[in-house]
Structure 1
Amino acid sequence: MAVVVRSGAAPLWWFGVFAAGIGVLVPGLTGRRIGVLAGAALFLITAAVVTLVRRGRYAALARGAARAGKYDVLQDRAVTVRTWRRGHRWWLLLAFAVAFGSSFAVPAAGGMLLAGAGTGLRLKAAWLGRRERAEGTLLWVRVDWLDRRGGSPAGRAVNGLRGTGLAAGDAAPGGTRRRTDALV
Structure 2
Amino acid sequence: MGRGTQSLARVAVVVRAGAAPLWWLGVLATGIGLLLPGLTGRRIGVLAGAALFLVTAGAVALARRRRYTHLAGSATRAGRHDVLQDRRVTLRVVRRPRRWWLLLAFLAAVASSFAVPAAGGAVLAGAGAGLWLKAVWLGRRERTEETLLWMRTDRLAEGAVGKPVRGFCTTGIAAGDAAPGGARRRS
Query: Normalised by the size of structure 2, how large is the TM-score?
Result: 0.93
List gaps (5 residues or longer) in structure 2.
1-10
**How far off its partner does 1:74 sit?**
3.0
Cα displacement string for residues 21-78 of structure 1 (whole angstroms, at most 9, x for unaligned residues): 0100000011000000000000000000000010000000111111111343431111
Query: If each structure's strand is expressed as a fraction of its own residues, which one has the higher value?
Result: 2
Distance 1:151 1:141 in 2: 12
Whether the aligned pair in 2 keeps the contact of 1:74 and 1:141 (CA below 8 Å) is no
Q: Does the 8 A contact of 1:65 with 1:160 survive in 2?
A: yes
- Alpha-carbon displacement from aligned partner over 1:59-113 (angstroms, at most 9, x marks no partner): 0011111111134343111100011111110011111010011000100000000
The answer to whether the Cα contact below 8 Å between 1:72 and 1:142 also exists between their aligned partners in 2 is no
Give 1:90's aligned residue.
100
What CA distance in whole angstroms lies between the structure 2 residues aligned with 1:79 and 1:108? 33
Report the TM-score, using the length of structure 1 for normalisation.
0.94
Tell me, yes or no, if structure 1 residue 14 matches structure 2 residue 14. no
Q: Which amino acid aligns with 1:164?
A: T
Deviations 1:119-158 (A, max 9, x none): 0000000000000001101101111122xxx331001100
1:150-165 aligned at under 5 Å gives the runs: 150-165=157-172
Distance in 1 (alpha carbons) for counterparts of 2:17 and 2:116 = 28
Matched, 1:107 2:114: no
- In 2, the alpha carbon distance for the partners of 1:12 and 1:151 equals 18
Q: Sequence identity, in percent?
A: 69
Distance 1:159 1:70 in 2: 20
Please state if 1:47 is matched with 2:82.
no
* Between 84-93 and 72-81, the greater mean CA deviation after superposition: 72-81
What secondary structure does 1:11 align onto? helix
Is 2:79 the counterpart of 1:69? yes
Q: Provide the aligned length of Structure 1 versus Structure 2.
A: 177
- What secondary structure, in the 3-state scheme, does the structure 1 residue paired with 2:31 have? helix
Distance, in Å, in 2 between the alignment partners of 1:177 and 1:80 is: 12
The answer for the alignment partner of 1:177 in structure 2 is 184
Cα distance in structure 1, aligned partners of 2:51 and 2:99: 27
Root-mean-square deviation over aligned CA pairs: 0.9
Following TM superposition, where does structure 1 have runs of at least 4 consecutive aligned residues deviating by more than 4 angstroms? Answer: none
Report the 3-state secondary structure (helix = DSSP H, G, I; strand = E; otherwise coil) of the residue aligned with 1:140: strand
Structure 1 stretches lacking a partner, 5+ long: none
8 Å contact kept, 1:74–1:142: no
